[in-house]
Structure 1
Amino acid sequence: MQHKLLLFLCASFLMTLMLIILHSCANIASPSGGEYDIVPPVIKKASPAFNSLNVTTKTIVIEFDENIKIEKPMEKVIITPPQKSFPVIKSIGKKAIVELEDELHPNTTYTIDFTDAIVDNNEGNPLENFSLSFSTGDRLDTLAVSGKVLSANDLEPVKGIYVGIHSNLHDSAFTKIPFERISRTDSKGDFTIKGMAPGKYKIYALNDLNRDYKYDNPQEAIAFSDSLIIPTTKPDIRQDTIFNKVDSTKIDTIKTIHYTRFLPDNILLRSFLSDFQRQYLQKHERPEPYKLMLYFAAPTTFPSFRLLNPPIENNNWFVKESTRHNDTITLWITDSLIYKTDSIHMEINYVRTDSTNRNSIYTDTLRFTYKQPKVKKTSSSKEKEEESLRFLGLQHNIQSNHEIYQPIRLEFEQPVIAFDSTHVKLFIEKDSTFTLVNYRLIKDSLNIRKYELRPRWEPGGKYRFVVDSAAFKSYYDLWNNKIEQTFTVKSLEQYGNLLIEMVGLPENKTVHVELLDKSDKPVRKIMVKNNEAKFQDLHPGTYYARLYIDENKDGVWTTGNYEQKRQPEEVYYYPRQYEIRAFTDHEESWDVNEVPVTRQKPLEITKNKPEVKKRRNPNEEQRTNTSSSRSTNPFLQNP
């Protein structure tokens, strides 16, 4: 019995030992302990070799000292000249392999820029700014240019947009011919175009929706420079700071590094969408018997139309209401014979964009029908009473604590036949007595149902607003109900004022300054006069500011147009913030040229914030580069 027990224990021990060995073999991992690996993959060799000449192969193999991965190759790897068919990019063990699908161009320098796509297999340490170049001819082009792409209207960094060049200096090259060489912006909007030959170039940015590397779609965001680009080099120096390995707060040494600087390295491209928009009629409807609605896909000119059924020759049968750019139009039918007709036919002439992106007048026939809602079989006496007592809707913007800079705004549910201001009264309380207040009445130029009352507010004053009942009648026989409301206008102690003295503005230009909230949205706008922007009655809080040069003096920021060679209107951001306190006058100075445009927008309101690389080890960031040129131009070489 003891012998059998001994055999069983020995067998169990051997089985456990085998399981431990098998488990150890199946889980290959870095040994525990020791220093953390923070070193990126090291290149051992490449085929073809770096800077090779007269290359004929379309397969590029790069071998490293450890197993690697290629992250997001379609997004991060940039091959120039641009390829029509995207190449096969893969990693096998220690090798990165690129298989080009397009035929090689003769006497051309090819550059495969991996950016930071190559990482080691375990810790994911990236090999930064890695690229390989070779030539199909007997000369290798090595020049480079770099810069930044910002969104023109808000100076946001534009990520992932193509930047390309043309040695063909004709304007049509951008729209007819694919780019000769390309780059793509990173999360900061930075780009570098490599492998350029000496010469003169035009440079563009393109959000290439169909990946043909040319601007053939007005829905693609673009940027273009008015100046020619001439790539050059010059010797330069930078300071490299090396921190102590034991105490990373202490500097170990500062080295002076000589290198070759590629110029220009500060190109600024301002990206914009053209003001071109396809114009067409999206839909039409008749939500009420007396109301015809037209919805257009883009801003347009006001269309012309005539009724076919019932046949009416004049245009006295309606009053019109429209948005500022006529993309929504309402026709209020005022002739009862027409709006009592079940089906209305209309001939309309409007602007429509054809398949070649050209606008022309298009004639169409529209049919408007109205279906009466189903009538309930039984209605309570209360419902019948409510129907008989239906009033004309009238909305206003009065708050119990009214803003001192706000007028009173009124909007009727339906157009009214006439607005009699004697039935709209505003009173102020003086010595417990309400006294009538005068105001200016302003009728909205687009919406016939809107009116503004502009009194001279007394800070802290107590007011009463009254609209007499049955004072206004709509075209459809509805009368208003009485409105009476008391309210107080805020006192000056609740506001702050801001005066900005502007420095560096172009002469004889119209300039508008906008105050922004923390989400980068405008809250106030004012025109600069005598180099000053005055904002009164501001709520206490944090504000940011931007301005635009209003070249066409239309009061709004205007985008660019490549066909007209018109750049978008210039935008500047105040690089800091304004803290407004109640009952305080703030005076500030803003020099628009104090900080480069590329660094003006405060990070707090920047939406496209640069990607922050994960720190893989507390001691990883021991080497810090203090050279600004190195951070903005990754194409740096030691001589």
Structure 2
Amino acid sequence: MFSKFLRNIHFIAFFTITSVILWGCGQRGAPSGGPRDITPPEVVQSYPKKMGTNFKGSEIFWKFDEYVTNTGLAQELLISPPVNHPPSIKLIGKKLTLKFDTVLNENTTYSIYLGKGIKDLNEGNPLENNLFIFSTGDQIDSLSFHGEIYDGETMQPMNEGMIHLYKEVDDSVPAQQIPSYFAKINEGHFHFSNLSEGEYKLIALVDNNGNYLYDLPNEKIAFVAEPIRVTEYQDSLEIVLKSFITPDQRQFISSKKCDFNGVIQLEFNQPVQKCNIEMMDHSFKKDWKIEQWNNTRNLLTIWSTEILEQDSIHLLVSFDEELDTIFFDLSKRKKIRDQPLTVEHNFEGLGNSYKKKLALTFSQPISSYDVSKFQLQNPYDTTNIQISQENELLIVDEIFQESTHYTLQLLPQAVKSIFDVYNTDTISLHFSTTSTASLGNLNINYNFEQANQHGVLQVYREQKLIKEVKVLNQQGLVSLEGIQPGDYQLKYISDWDNNGVWSAGNYWTKQQPENVYWYSEPINLRANWDLDVNWQLIP
């Protein structure tokens, strides 16, 4: 029995020691396999050879030094000059084959860009030598040029679309033929290489329907008006393009709305120069409406007390030599006079200068107000104030104190709208002014003599437009007093058509978009500072 006990002890000891050894081995983990493979695949054979000439076949292949995957190759593949039909793609093991169903052009240098469509199978390292050049003739074309492309309105580098190059230079070519050569856009840059000598038409296109043609009105385009010439003496030209979408120049009413009986909104496709609106089958001794336009004059709000009792109305709208009739069924719409009167003001948030005028905007046009029912409270007292009316705004004619909290109270029946709607309850508006020491002054001395005669100067604070000035003189001063500290940007639009906004171009009339310039230096306005900025524009 004792010997059996010893045998059990020996077995337990052996099992324990073995378990410890195995556990220790387990703790060291599986073999790591060495450092991660970061080596991209390489081409060890191709047909034709890279930079090869006199290629006459219909198949091109590459053999790689390791197994690869072609996921995404169909989207990355770029062949220039383009072919009528994309080749079929076949990957077997380490061999990639492109098969063309049409004969390639004679005496032409081709570039095949594989992009990041070829990666090694294990780690996904993309092929680095991904540009393959060959010729169907007896020589490789070697001329080149490059350029930059920006969004015409923002002047930000583009990163979408393609650059198209055509051997035929007629203006109709981009709408009728696929380009002779392509180039990709990479952060605003593009490059053409291996070109033959000659004249070319050049455009950039964001091709919305993917047919390589400029055939949709909403496709973004950039162009050079005249053909460019590439020669051995003018190699490596540099070109700057500015893209745009040509707006629909037709003038029409794009939308109409009548949420409440008493107010109508009409939106136009283009800013309106002249407009007249009549109510059909009705005549009035006086004007039956109040018109309010937005700043760009493409949105019109019509207020009228005359339509409140109507079940329906027909409007005859004449605008910019166009004519339209509009019908509204008013029988089931709520009346605007049953809606409460609300108010907004322009002292929202912090950083309001005490020199700023307080402007009140109401949800309905105001017909009258009782100034005795406007009370301004500060921490020390309550006072009555003076009010003036400017179009749809009520302006508080009061000199405020800096660093002060205010409450403006509109007592019941302080204001009445044209629909005989009063404020039935007291309206309390809370706002504050900041200290002068916490604000700054920005003085912009500009000289735009070398730009267009007319323009628009825009001031942005941290990418938000805060001030817009129409420039009539080529030199001048714009002062912004009591504004918040921060980073500011200046933008100038050469307003060739003098419409007050940036205008796009038109490829068919060879009209380029209006030039846009940004002040290149950082502008950091600090509190309690006067900052002078001198901007001499040199296009």
- Deviation track 1:199-248 (CA, whole Å, cap 9, x = no partner) reads 122321100112232322220111112464333568xxxxxxxxxxxxxx
Query: 1:208 maps to what in 2?
Result: 207
Matches within 5 A, 1:209-608: 209-226=208-225, 228-232=227-231, 263-264=236-237, 266-276=238-248, 281-296=253-268, 299=271, 306-308=278-280, 311-312=282-283, 316-335=287-306, 338-348=307-317, 361=322, 363-364=324-325, 366-371=327-332, 392-398=341-347, 403-404=352-353, 406-416=356-366, 418-419=367-368, 434=383, 441-443=389-391, 449-452=392-395, 459=402, 465=408, 470=413, 472-481=415-424, 488-500=432-444, 506=450, 509-510=453-454, 512-518=456-462, 520-526=463-469, 530=475, 534-588=479-533
* TM-score when normalising by structure 2: 0.77
What's the offset of the Cα at 1:162?
1.1
In the alignment, the residues of structure 2 paired with residue 504 and residue 318 of structure 1 have an alpha-carbon distance, to the nearest angstrom, of 43
CA pair 539-207 structure 1, distance change in 2 beyond 3 A: same
* Structure 2 residue matching 1:157: 3-state secondary structure: coil
Query: Does structure 2 conserve the Cα–Cα contact (< 8 Å) formed by 1:106 and 1:136?
Result: yes
- Is 1:182 aligned with 2:131? no
* Structure 1 residue matching 2:240: 3-state secondary structure: strand
Query: 1:117 maps to what in 2?
Result: 117
What's the offset of the Cα at 1:516?
3.4
What's the offset of the Cα at 1:42?
2.2
Whichever residue aligns with residue 494 of structure 2, its letter is I
Query: Does structure 2 conserve the Cα–Cα contact (< 8 Å) formed by 1:67 and 1:121?
Result: yes
* Structure 1 residue matching 2:228: 3-state secondary structure: coil
What's the offset of the Cα at 1:182?
1.3
* Structure 1 residue matching 2:528: 3-state secondary structure: coil
CA pair 130-322 structure 1, distance change in 2 beyond 3 A: same
When the two structures are aligned, how many residues end up with a matched partner?
505
In the alignment, the residues of structure 2 paired with residue 326 and residue 102 of structure 1 have an alpha-carbon distance, to the nearest angstrom, of 55
What's the offset of the Cα at 1:126?
2.8
Whichever residue aligns with residue 421 of structure 2, its letter is L
What's the offset of the Cα at 1:161?
0.7
- Deviation track 1:12-38 (CA, whole Å, cap 9, x = no partner) reads xxxxxxxxxxxxxxxxxxx95556544
In the alignment, the residues of structure 2 paired with residue 168 and residue 464 of structure 1 have an alpha-carbon distance, to the nearest angstrom, of 71
Q: Percent identity between the aligned chains? A: 27
In the alignment, the residues of structure 2 paired with residue 299 and residue 129 of structure 1 have an alpha-carbon distance, to the nearest angstrom, of 52
CA pair 217-39 structure 1, distance change in 2 beyond 3 A: same
- Deviation track 1:497-516 (CA, whole Å, cap 9, x = no partner) reads 23455578625644544443
CA pair 419-432 structure 1, distance change in 2 beyond 3 A: closer
What's the offset of the Cα at 1:561?
2.5
* Structure 2 residue matching 1:339: 3-state secondary structure: coil
CA pair 497-163 structure 1, distance change in 2 beyond 3 A: same
Structure 1: state its 5+ residue gaps. Answer: 1-30, 235-260, 352-359, 375-387, 444-448, 598-639
The answer to which of 110-119 and 495-504 deviates more is: 495-504
Query: 1:192 maps to what in 2?
Result: 191
* Structure 2 residue matching 1:55: 3-state secondary structure: coil
* Structure 2 residue matching 1:230: 3-state secondary structure: strand
In the alignment, the residues of structure 1 paired with residue 310 and residue 82 of structure 2 have an alpha-carbon distance, to the nearest angstrom, of 62
Query: Does structure 2 conserve the Cα–Cα contact (< 8 Å) formed by 1:442 and 1:453?
Result: no
What's the offset of the Cα at 1:198?
0.7
Query: Does structure 2 conserve the Cα–Cα contact (< 8 Å) formed by 1:84 and 1:212?
Result: no
In the alignment, the residues of structure 2 paired with residue 139 and residue 421 of structure 1 have an alpha-carbon distance, to the nearest angstrom, of 89
Whichever residue aligns with residue 94 of structure 1, its letter is K
Whichever residue aligns with residue 331 of structure 1, its letter is I
* Structure 2 residue matching 1:174: 3-state secondary structure: helix
What's the offset of the Cα at 1:73?
2.6
Report which structure shows greater RCO (CA 8 Å, sep ≥6).
1
Whichever residue aligns with residue 417 of structure 2, its letter is S
CA pair 549-292 structure 1, distance change in 2 beyond 3 A: closer
Query: Does structure 2 conserve the Cα–Cα contact (< 8 Å) formed by 1:494 and 1:539?
Result: yes
CA pair 487-299 structure 1, distance change in 2 beyond 3 A: closer
Aligned-pair RMSD on alpha carbons? Answer: 4.2
- Deviation track 1:550-609 (CA, whole Å, cap 9, x = no partner) reads 33444333322323322222233344533322112234555766xxx9xxxxxxxxxxxx
- Is 1:150 aligned with 2:150? yes
